[in-house]
Structure 1
Amino acid sequence: MTQTPHFHRIGILGTGRVARALALGLAEWSGLPLMVWGRSRERAGQMGGEAAQSLAQMAEACDVIALAVSDDALSSVTAELAAVWPEDGEGFVFHVSGRSGLAPLEPLALRGAKAAAIHPAMTFTGDAPAELRRMAGARFAVTTAQADTAAIAHRLVAALGGVAVDIAEAQRPLYHAALCHAANHLVTLMAGSMDALVCAGVADGAALLAPLVRAALDNSLAMGFDALSGPLLRGDIETISGHITALERDCPELLPAYRGMAGATLDKLERVGAPPTAKLRQAVDG
């Protein structure tokens, strides 16, 4: 049975990693072939739709436009699109920036566009088919100002297989900080641990760490801070002191991050009613 498209024509403004994943996921929901606009006409033509001749053409032809550009370019691109927006145009425009809410889209909203911020809580590395699979079941942060706009945003998220989570405009920076703290800092944490294992003579640090950290991640998602185990929880001062001595000697570049994360863990233990001893705190702080 053929799926009835949700939208007349969808436009993708951008040709980067997120844009390519969106194009792949939304193509079947566009009644007419996707329209793509980017600084590189060649890359736009490689995304499975029709390369737009101009922003004005896209604004006229599409009832849904996704702004999949860098955060720093979002305001200028929005201004360019607003300058060619049709009189009384009521199309739906959304961006996929995590940090931004509706403010960058205000020039379009003033021209009559329905505006939304729709951020997939997912990393994008350039493998569009794999990223489309990962978006199925992923959460999408949706920020809108009207109920009818929210309904369209939720339909788009559902078309990508995702689950919409409404985030208030004022809470977008806090939302994005939480995601970056979890995902981006995790990469730094893992890289530091693998560097230390290299210093310890381990040839394949990733293979050694994988079962441990996957279990820790699963436990953390299921149990929160109750998943904590290890020497900080036990109050094992000699073990922590040994870690710091070894890091100072063999892997000093990791020591500031180790102290910082250990200190944050002790702070959390204090907040949940299991305060560390002064000696343990001193061992961590040095």
Structure 2
Amino acid sequence: MDAPRLGIGIISAGKVGVVLGAALAASGHRITGVHAVSETSRERADALLPGVQILDPAEILRRSELVIFAVPDDVLGELVQGLAAGGHFVTGQLVAHTAGRYGIGILEPAIAAGAFGLAIHPAMTFTGMSMDLHRLTDCVFAVTADEIMLPVAQALVVEMRGEPVVIAEQDRVSYHAALAHAANHLNTITAQSADMLRRIGVEDPSATLRALMSASLDNALRSGALALTGPVARGDVGTVQAHLTSMAKDQQDTQDSYRSLSRATAMRAAALGRISQATLQELLQVLE
């Protein structure tokens, strides 16, 4: 027998909210309304959720069996608290959020009003366009809920063609930090490397970096520590010193990143037995 279809409200029409709403609509659920303030968010809602009414949060809560809060982390708590104070949550209602750093504790005002809390975070970056729907396939979602509601959270993820991974309430911040370190800092490193290439006259740094970075990321995800390569992993102190000398012409933040990450790489290489303790100390001295 088919699973019951839900009336789902989306607060708000950011890049994440409209995509998840569209994915759930595609699986047969009914989108009861979406909250959108700016012209950009209204256009986004119209593109991915055509025909869905633009409503205020209180009305969305009144009409919906499941409400998804897809808002910035720093406004989520205040928004939930305000709606709870206004008596807008309904007993038995499902209330989910998409914030990576929070579990269901942030939803306590809604839970106290009789709602059931779910934390569902897709481990993906979003454009807010239809291409994101295809990217959801096999995308990992971090799910957090109590024992009774956990199967519901997992089922919603599966309906969006994602892969649910359970994260304990107390581990949400560590989970989010890991993702931010991987995704956001990769962007910074890429930009710094591109700046270095532009400085020496490379017209299209992205073309130069693409194959190398794609292969490196793929190898690291497939093979873990075994994929570690490069002059630091080989203990090539002379090359590292030459790099640092040449980087004197680059921005200070680029030099700082290179030194910090090279130190971390050196210590990992030593722990793996790839370089000796003596070579490790030589590298660390050069990288001071």
After superposition, the C-alpha distances for 1:131-172 in whole angstroms (9 at most, x for unaligned) are: 11111111000011123x111111110111100000000000
CA contact (8 A) 1:13 1:66 kept: yes
Distance 2:189 2:237 in 1: 22
1:105 to 104, 107, 122: 107
Describe the SS at the equivalent of 2:229. Answer: coil
Distance 2:89 2:246 in 1: 65
Verify: 1:119 aligned to 2:121, yes or no.
Answer: yes
Describe the SS at the equivalent of 1:97. Answer: coil
CA contact (8 A) 1:15 1:37 kept: yes
- Where in structure 2 are the equivalents of 1:88-99 lying within 5 Å? 89-99=91-101
1:161 is matched with 161
After superposition, the C-alpha distances for 1:192-219 in whole angstroms (9 at most, x for unaligned) are: 0010011121111110111111111111
Q: How well do the aligned residues superpose, as a CA RMSD in angstroms?
A: 2.1
1:59 is matched with 61
CA contact (8 A) 1:108 1:115 kept: yes
CA contact (8 A) 1:138 1:162 kept: yes
CA contact (8 A) 1:5 1:31 kept: no
1:279 is matched with 282
Describe the SS at the equivalent of 2:130. Answer: helix
Give the TM-score normalised by structure 2: 0.90
Describe the SS at the equivalent of 1:50. Answer: coil
Q: Closer, same or farther in 2 for the Cα pair 1:60/1:208, shift >3 Å?
A: same
Distance 1:250 1:72 in 2: 35
2:9 is matched with 11
Distance 1:213 1:69 in 2: 32
Give the TM-score normalised by structure 1: 0.91
Q: Closer, same or farther in 2 for the Cα pair 1:118/1:49, shift >3 Å?
A: farther
1:137 is matched with 138
After superposition, the C-alpha distances for 1:69-110 in whole angstroms (9 at most, x for unaligned) are: 1111101211233233355x2011100000111111000111
Distance 1:10 1:69 in 2: 16
Distance 1:194 1:33 in 2: 43
The count of aligned residue pairs is 280
After superposing the two structures, state which structure 1 stretch, 225-234 or 271-280, moved more. 271-280
After superposing the two structures, state which structure 1 stretch, 198-207 or 272-281, moved more. 272-281
Q: Closer, same or farther in 2 for the Cα pair 1:40/1:277, shift >3 Å?
A: closer
CA contact (8 A) 1:33 1:49 kept: no
After superposition, the C-alpha distances for 1:199-243 in whole angstroms (9 at most, x for unaligned) are: 121111110111111111111001111101111111111111110
Q: Closer, same or farther in 2 for the Cα pair 1:248/1:67, shift >3 Å?
A: same
Distance 1:181 1:250 in 2: 23
After superposing the two structures, state which structure 1 stretch, 72-81 or 34-43, moved more. 34-43
Give the fraction of aligned pairs with identical amino acids, expressed as a percent: 36
1:43 is matched with 42
Distance 2:199 2:30 in 1: 56
CA contact (8 A) 1:5 1:30 kept: no
Letter in 2 for 1:282: Q
Distance 1:85 1:219 in 2: 49
- Where in structure 2 are the equivalents of 1:135-214 lying within 5 Å? 135-147=136-148, 149-214=149-214
Unaligned residue ranges in structure 1 (runs of 5+) = none
Distance 1:59 1:165 in 2: 27
1:35 deviates by 1.4
Distance 1:5 1:171 in 2: 30
Distance 1:279 1:32 in 2: 63
CA contact (8 A) 1:66 1:95 kept: yes
Distance 2:252 2:104 in 1: 44
CA contact (8 A) 1:35 1:49 kept: no
Letter in 2 for 1:139: V
CA contact (8 A) 2:143 2:153 kept: yes
Distance 1:31 1:131 in 2: 18
1:64 deviates by 0.9
CA contact (8 A) 1:59 1:81 kept: no
After superposition, the C-alpha distances for 1:237-282 in whole angstroms (9 at most, x for unaligned) are: 1111110000013554411110011011112223334443322221
Distance 2:55 2:18 in 1: 19
